Structure 1
Amino acid sequence: MGTLFWSALGGLASLGIGLGVSRLVEDLFARSQALGYVGLGLAALLALATLTILGREVLGLARLASLDALRARAADALARDDREVALPVARDLVALTARMPTLARSRTELSSHLGEIIDGADLIRLTERALMTPLDARARQMVSDAAKQVSVVTAVSPRAAVDLFFVLYTALKLMRRLAMLYGGRPGALGMVRLARHVVSHLAVTGGMAAGDSLVQQIVGHGLAARLSARLGEGVVNGLLTARLGLAAIAVTRPLPFAALPAPRLSDVASGLVRSAEQADAALPTKRS
């Protein structure tokens, strides 16, 4: 019902805008033929720009959907160990990364071995090692950098509202960068879909993953008690950003983790503990 509601609301809004523009152009023609043609030209430009934006949004949504479909097909090939299913997946992934110059050598080597692998699961694992290894390393670095940035900025910001805004902004920016890294090009609608997908993934996998070793380190060794309230809050915000980044990797990566290990919270956010203690010594004052 929600989709139907928003579709109907969007349709009514579009009709209202179209009717308003039509009346405006008619009024301009009634006042002056020259003004009417100017208004008509501007309306045409507006329509063209709107169609262009909508086209980009549709392509962005289709790109994200293709990543989901590719990941599902790869998981099916792994489960069935079927070469007939795995080979098109490998070729599609080679095509998906065709515009990534850093993977040129990996694509060439992988393409030369595609005909030699008999088992479907091994073919998927070979493809993952060849094409995902450098992308995964870059993704981990992106998440780690974003988490550290959020930790520092929210530790020194004077207002909680600023903290919330910066965390949301950084998280959305990180999601978009990760999607583009793995071959997606989300627009505004694509970002809404991606954010919903990330939140759903977090809900399924247990949110902040309280059992993670890094969280155990913070709680078990009393780090929160040793840090000032300001820097402790920064660490928590950094962990939240890192967790969102890991969820974004899981939902934008075109292959499931099979041959390569999935990144953990401790892999991308371990530096937060050390940097927080250093910052606590350098900035001893409390937040007002």
Structure 2
Amino acid sequence: MSSPRPRKPAIFSPDDPNVVMTAPKDDPLLDIASGTEADQQLPALASATKSKRRVPWRKILFGAVGGLISLGIGLAVTRLIEDLFARFELLGWVALVLAGLGLLALLAIIIRELAGLSRLATIEKLRERATQTLLNDNRTEGQAIMRDLLAIESKAPHLARSRTKLQAHLGEIIDGADLIRLAERELMTPLDREARQLVSNAAKRVSIVTAVSPRAAIDIFFVLITALGLCRQLALLYGGRPGTLGLFRLMRHVIAHLTITGGMAAGDSLIQQVIGHGLAAKLSARLGEGVLNGLLTARLGIAAIEVTRPLPFAALPRPTLTEVAGGIIRSAEQAEKNKA
């Protein structure tokens, strides 16, 4: 049986009445026109996709309330100045000058907060770019990351020699991943050492204060203040300058990092030492509570290092809980021996 001969290409006009255009049998548009059950799913999927775009009611609420409060404060200040002008003109001018100074200070604070948020975002993006460069080994991107990192750390006097070495090797190394590792070894080594010391000191302070404080409210307040101060110190150490809003954003990232990496890190060797060997049971109740609070502070500090560091850990080892909080256990054991 011979196969049908293929039709030759032909030219026709869409307006030709002899030409009839039909849709294929599996065309969903044809199913929709016929009203079948299958074609009704397409509009349903489209409506479901549109429904995912929710209106940001929370942002609208905060924006509206903030606008009303701002208008109320502005109206109250305006009435105060008008009343002072009505009573005594000199007092009105004094109030006007004070209002101008307050507005100038408010603008300066807003600019500083925005600059702090922008710098934190720059460091976060730099860390993401470095992570991608370690994977794709892009030399051009590696050089750009190194230049940005040198700009961030340009005001650290104790990194002057490291910056000089990096600038000398900027055009010599071919692989982008090697550039990132070299920058990490040269710039992050002294900063990581200082960061570990900051976390260790904060953990020891928390363990001692919470062990001797008489009330739990004091413990909570001191731990909160210490955690905020530690995150701010680490951010400043690695080149960030967070303001008040930047600090709260940084704490949110740190808590999110703790959640992703397992919270308290119960599998860590130091936690296993405390729980497995029953050290907390051998110590007094308050001293054992202080040890655990110090361990939690140290774990928070390690997460803060991961978040505030401008480069990921590739050439250098990550800090461990044993390194930064090992002195807590030794201090607790020594204090228990002295007490005995």
Give the TM-score, by structure 2 length: 0.82
Alignment of 1:153 with 2:209, yes or no, is: yes
Alignment RMSD (CA, Å): 1.1
Of 39, 55, 62, the match for 2:111 = 55
Alignment of 1:253 with 2:332, yes or no, is: no
Aligned to 1:97: 153
Q: Deviations over 1:186-228 (max 9, x none)?
A: 1111111111111111111110000001001111111111111
Q: What is the 5 A alignment of 1:1-288? A: 1=56, 2-283=58-339
- Letter of the structure 1 residue corresponding to residue 200 of structure 2: S
Using the alignment, how far apart are the partners of 1:279 and 1:269 within structure 2? 16
Q: Deviations over 1:228-266 (max 9, x none)?
A: 111100000000110111111111000011111111111
- Letter of the structure 1 residue corresponding to residue 89 of structure 2: Q
Using the alignment, how far apart are the partners of 1:115 and 1:125 within structure 2? 15
Using the alignment, how far apart are the partners of 2:223 and 2:296 within structure 1? 9
Q: Structure 1 stretches of 5 or more lacking a match? A: none
- Letter of the structure 2 residue corresponding to residue 182 of structure 1: Y
Change (3 A) 1:283 1:153: farther
Using the alignment, how far apart are the partners of 1:216 and 1:15 within structure 2? 56
Higher relative contact order (CA 8 A, sep 6+): 1
Give the TM-score, by structure 1 length: 0.96
- SS state at 2:78 partner: helix
Please state how far the C-alpha of 1:8 moved relative to its aligned partner. Answer: 2.6
- Letter of the structure 1 residue corresponding to residue 240 of structure 2: G
Please state how far the C-alpha of 1:9 moved relative to its aligned partner. Answer: 2.2
Please state how far the C-alpha of 1:63 moved relative to its aligned partner. Answer: 1.0
Identity %: 65
Q: Structure 2 stretches of 5 or more lacking a match? A: 1-55
- Letter of the structure 2 residue corresponding to residue 225 of structure 1: A
Q: Which shows bigger deviation, 157-166 or 274-283?
A: 274-283
Which is richer in helix? 1
Please state how far the C-alpha of 1:34 moved relative to its aligned partner. Answer: 1.3
Please state how far the C-alpha of 1:282 moved relative to its aligned partner. Answer: 2.8
- Letter of the structure 2 residue corresponding to residue 144 of structure 1: S
Using the alignment, how far apart are the partners of 1:169 and 1:282 within structure 2? 29
Higher Cα Rg, which structure: 2
Using the alignment, how far apart are the partners of 1:66 and 1:15 within structure 2? 33
- Letter of the structure 1 residue corresponding to residue 117 of structure 2: L
